[in-house]
Amino acid sequence: MFILIGISADFDPVHKGHEKLISEARKLADEENKKVVVYLNKGFSANHAPFFTNFEARREMALALGADEVRSFEGLHHRLVLSYSVPIRLKQMIDDGVTDYITSASITLDEIKSKAQKFIDEGNFVGMPKSYTNRNEIRWYAINEFLGSKVKYHVVKEFNKEKYSGRLIRQSLIDNDMEITGEVKKLLPKTTVEILEREIEAGRVPGERNWNDIYKRMNTYSRGNLEKIAYLNGNTINEIIKRRVYRDPESIWAVFRRSDYGPVMTRLAISAIEMEVTKKEVMELMKSYESQGVIPDNQKVQRVIDRAWYVASEGEKGVSAREANDKFRSQNISVNPPLSLEAGLNLTKFETKITKEGLKTDLYVDKNGKISVQFKSEGKKIKTNLRLPAVEVTYLRYIMDSHFIPVDGSIKKAKKGFKVNIAIG
């Protein structure tokens, strides 16, 4: 059996706040004859960025401070937001035999419990308010309780976050040409300093994104291909097309700011572009964990589709999207949304002549905000807007902007000409 520590920290790098966390876990472990196991994110951080310090170095830092073992979470944070990755990570811990979870926070366990209760009652962990102090710790507690886990939650008083901050430590290193200043050394355990200096000397710090692949995809992919990538919506894709060419990270950050993406969603979207994560890949990953009972009902893929149909249908009655969305979330509303649609095409006579049944199509939102389709036939690229009833247009647009639900199209012969058969999810 294990005690799990440090889940809410990436340990990038391990500072004295983390050392205190490990020390408190060590005391508890020795009292109860258990092991201290640190779970570190690998590949991408919980904030969807590449790590400054690689996994092996962070693992070594944690072991040097008294952890018995270090395990990894892999393949999650370039694919999923925290409200989905936390239940998955918690499931892994429970399956490993974890009995206790210890984390640091500036608020008490009672305060965490109080803030978490609303989300436990609703069974929905998306959109936790940014105003919440230690909202990640609140999310972990809420999901642990909601899933009926017996993992016991422990809170250690957090060190001054304005001082003991991995982000500020990393920024100091960058600003000082990778020199560890005297002030920063005061924040780090001696073993961390030694390992970090070795990693810097070897050129393994800092870790970086593959910007060349990101530039290539953002500069060359069509709207249809960008639409397949997770966490990109129609407006953002049009901004990406409009602002080409990209040659530096700031130009990429700027286009996401114009699309009203916050820093966290920007990092996730850039990571999805870098790793070429598709909506289909994310949806299938979510469904695989749904089948294991890990994902709360209100966050399941079908529930997202249900909400899109309900909000679109209510919009036809004059109900605002916000009002319909709030009603759907707060009440146990059941709907039966269509998972396939048939859309008309606006083809020229020549395009109709060369179009064939069964051709695969890419859906996208054009520069005027209209849902469109493109496909190739006999070497010719054909693009046209779709013809759908208003409620289906709204529904389909919500689905296409959902970040992780794919839509596929194929040409179908109609009585007069052709249509597109659209499959949702």
Per-residue confidence band for 8, with pLDDT thresholds at 50, 70 and 90: low
Region 311-337: what's the mean pLDDT?
94
pLDDT at 2 over 80: no
Sequence-separated (6 or more) residues with CB below 8 Å from residue 82: 46, 136, 139
Give the CA angle between residues 77, 28, 188 to the nearest 5°: 55
Residue-level pLDDT at 197: 98
Rounded to an integer, what is the distance from CA 35 to the centroid of its chain?
31
- The residue among 25, 20, 52 whose CA lies nearest residue 36 is 25
Structure tokens at 249: 């990270």
Judge if the upstream peptide bond of residue 406 is cis by omega within 30 degrees of 0: no
Helix (H) or strand (E) holding 421, with range, is: strand 418-424
Per-residue confidence band for 329, with pLDDT thresholds at 50, 70 and 90: confident
User: Is 339 in contact with 425 (CB distance < 8 Å)?
Assistant: yes
Region 63-85: what's the mean pLDDT?
95
Structure tokens at 287: 């469904």
Bridge partners of residue 413, in order along the sequence? 418
E-assigned strand segments in 140-240:
152-157
pLDDT > 70 fraction of the chain, expressed in percent and rounded: 98
Sequence-separated (6 or more) residues with CB below 8 Å from residue 357: 411, 412, 413, 418
- What single string gives the DSSP state of each residue in 290-356? HTTT-S-GGGSHHHHHHHHHHHHHHHHTT--HHHHHHHHHHTT------SEEEEEE---HHHHHH--
pLDDT digits (tens, 9 = 90+) for 232-281: 999 999 999 999 999 999 999 999 999 999 999 999 999 999 999 999 99
Give the single-character DSSP code of 158. Answer: P
Per-residue confidence band for 161, with pLDDT thresholds at 50, 70 and 90: confident
pLDDT digits (tens, 9 = 90+) for 168-218: 999 999 999 999 999 999 999 999 999 999 999 999 999 999 999 999 999
Using CA atoms, how far residue 191 sits from 37, 59, 173, 394, in Å, is 19, 12, 17, 57
